[in-house]
Amino acid sequence: MEEAFLMRSTMFDIVKLSSDKLQYDLFVDDDDVMGDRFTSVIESNIVRWFFYNEQRLTQYLFYEELGIGENYKLFLEVQKPIIKDSGLPGDIDILLVDVVNPHLSIAFEVKKTKVIIDPDDRVILKTSKVKHGILQCKHMYNKYRFHKTFLMLLLVTDGANRGYNQQMFRYPSYAEKKSVYFHSGFGDLPEDVGIFIIEINQPSRNSIDFTGQISSKMLKSAKSNDQLNETTESIIAFLRK
User: Residue 29 has what pLDDT?
Assistant: 83
Please give the span between the terminal C-alpha atoms of the chain, in angstroms, as a whole number. 54
Is the pLDDT at 197 greater than 60, yes or no? yes
Average pLDDT for 84-90:
88
SS3 (DSSP) at 49: helix
User: Residue 1 has what pLDDT?
Assistant: 41
pLDDT digits (tens, 9 = 90+) for 139-196: 999 999 999 999 999 999 999 999 888 898 999 999 999 999 999 999 999 999 999 9
User: Residue 33 has what pLDDT?
Assistant: 86
Neighbouring C-beta atoms of residue 124, cutoff 10 Å? 11
pLDDT digits (tens, 9 = 90+) for 67-82: 998 889 999 999 999 9
SS3 (DSSP) at 181: helix
- Where does the pLDDT of residue 85 fall: very low under 50, low under 70, confident under 90, or very high at 90 and above? confident
Q: What is the mean pLDDT of the chain?
A: 92
Average pLDDT for 74-94:
93
Amino acid at 208: I
The secondary structure element, H or E, covering residue 176 is: helix 174-181
pLDDT digits (tens, 9 = 90+) for 4-57: 688 999 999 988 777 777 777 788 888 788 889 999 999 999 999 999 988 888
8 Å CB contact between 65 and 216: yes
Amino acid at 140: M
How many whole angstroms separate alpha carbon 95 and alpha carbon 78?
A: 7
